[in-house]
């Protein structure tokens, strides 16, 4: 069985065994898992290799691109801003971003951006991968285009676009990029090693994402026109995450870098009523707004039954969870974070061997199950 490093509260030693088995079987190459309970760490473990060749150990401070798990940081930044009284989710986006009203989007609300129901699941104009590094270009194109469906009437996963849409609202209100606000108001006060826009000084700690098996990536799988547009305009290629340009950019829906410890450190705010690391950064009412159901039904992009709150997924057919007052989301390849407000429990998993899944897979699920089982024992 592969070595797993780090620490577990004795109640959760089974979790260490689950990660060790995943590494030994080859399901994982390198990974980390962390959990907090009542705001305090109870699991912080890691193991395996940070590179595909198996020459660089996954260390305590290894970080990696977590794809759409980044969306939970984007959402929490918006929730923080709303908790400060500066952002109204019921307000029209054009109130903050006047140019957005073009092409029939006058009545689109911020809540619809947060819940993947704004009809802007992908770019209408042809996009190249490097275009994602140009914030103004992305926002100008989204502001100019018409929705693909009537906003608010159905969910459709905004895989890349959500970060630009919510991030531009944050920028219009604060004058700063979402990554800057997140670092200053959330990650910084908590000492969390999570970055939306990564400085080159950290490059040596970044693990290498290993793409899914040939033919199973999101850009390879056929689906609806909306699904193909999301995955191929521009094409989402995990190899791009190894470049300085990708890491330096702010793509708040997809290019956050961190490890399980830092993901859990921040998202503990959601699980623990706005308090993490002994610091209150949001009110309990402010974090519980994420539980407000905005839209549900078959996602027009994912083709799965979903339930979206404000910025997070809610328990339902796609991901049944033991407690109703829980929020979650995961990233392309398998990363996942769950914030269970009933149990005051936060769990996070990140890895480098990607599965072909868009929003998390069973590796994270088995680790989370081991935690819930330990709590129930």
Backbone angles phi, psi at 44, to 5 degrees: -150, 90
Cα–Cα distance measured from residue 332 to residue 73, given in angstroms and rounded to the nearest whole number? 16
224 a catalytic residue? no
Cα–Cα distance measured from residue 246 to residue 254, given in angstroms and rounded to the nearest whole number? 10
Residue 56 burial (CB < 10 Å; 0-12/13-18/19+)? middle
Cα–Cα distance measured from residue 303 to residue 174, given in angstroms and rounded to the nearest whole number? 36
Question: Which among 32, 68, 121, 335 is annotated as catalytic?
Answer: 68
240-273: b (≥16 Cβ within 10 Å) or e: bbeeeebbebbbbbbbbbbbbbbbbbbbbbbbbb
Cα–Cα distance measured from residue 81 to residue 76, given in angstroms and rounded to the nearest whole number? 9
The CB-side HSE value for 137 (13 A sphere, CA atoms) comes to 13
Six-digit token string for 317 = 């057919």
Six-digit token string for 59 = 């260390």
User: CB within 8 A of 82, min separation 6: which ones?
Assistant: 88, 89, 286, 289
Six-digit token string for 236 = 């989402």
For residues 19 and 6, the answer to whether their CB atoms sit within 8 Å is: no
What are the residues facing 346 on neighbouring strands?
36, 339
Give the residue numbers marked as catalytic.
68
């Amino acid at each position: 069985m592969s070595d797993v490093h780090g620490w577990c509260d004795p109640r959760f030693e089974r979790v260490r065994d689950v990660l060790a088995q995943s590494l030994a079987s080859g399901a994982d190459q390198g990974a980390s898992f962390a959990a907090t309970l009542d705001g305090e760490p109870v699991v912080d473990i890691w193991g395996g290799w940070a590179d595909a060749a198996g020459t660089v150990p996954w260390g305590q401070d290894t970080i990696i691109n977590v794809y759409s798990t980044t969306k939970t940081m984007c959402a929490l930044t918006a929730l923080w801003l709303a908790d400060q009284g500066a952002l109204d989710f019921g307000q029209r986006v054009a109130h903050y971003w006047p140019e957005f009203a073009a092409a029939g989007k006058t009545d689109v609300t911020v809540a619809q951006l947060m819940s993947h129901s704004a009809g802007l699941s992908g770019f209408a104009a042809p996009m190249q991968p490097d275009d994602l590094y140009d914030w103004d270009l992305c926002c100008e194109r989204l502001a100019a285009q018409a929705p693909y469906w009537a906003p608010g009437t159905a969910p459709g996963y905004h895989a890349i676009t959500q970060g630009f849409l919510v991030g531009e609202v944050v920028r219009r209100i604060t004058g700063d990029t979402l990554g800057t606000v997140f670092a200053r108001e959330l990650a910084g006060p908590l000492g969390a090693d999570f970055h939306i826009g990564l400085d080159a000084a950290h490059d040596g700690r970044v693990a290498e994402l290993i793409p899914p098996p040939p033919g199973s990536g999101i850009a390879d799988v056929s689906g609806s026109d909306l699904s193909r547009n999301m995955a191929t305009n521009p094409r989402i290629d995990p190899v791009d995450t190894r470049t300085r340009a990708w890491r330096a950019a702010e793509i708040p829906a997809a290019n956050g870098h961190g490890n399980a410890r830092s993901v859990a450190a921040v998202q503990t705010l959601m699980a623990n009523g706005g308090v993490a690391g002994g610091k209150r950064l949001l009110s309990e009412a402010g974090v519980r707004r994420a539980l407000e159901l905005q839209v549900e039904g078959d996602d027009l992009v994912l083709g799965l039954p979903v339930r979206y709150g404000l910025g997070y997924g809610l328990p339902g057919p796609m991901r049944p969870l033991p407690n109703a007052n829980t929020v979650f989301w995961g990233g392309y390849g398998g990363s996942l974070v769950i914030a269970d407000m009933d149990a005051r429990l936060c769990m996070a998993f990140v890895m480098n061997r990607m599965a072909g899944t868009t929003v998390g897979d069973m590796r994270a699920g088995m680790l989370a199950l081991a935690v819930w089982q330990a709590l129930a024992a």
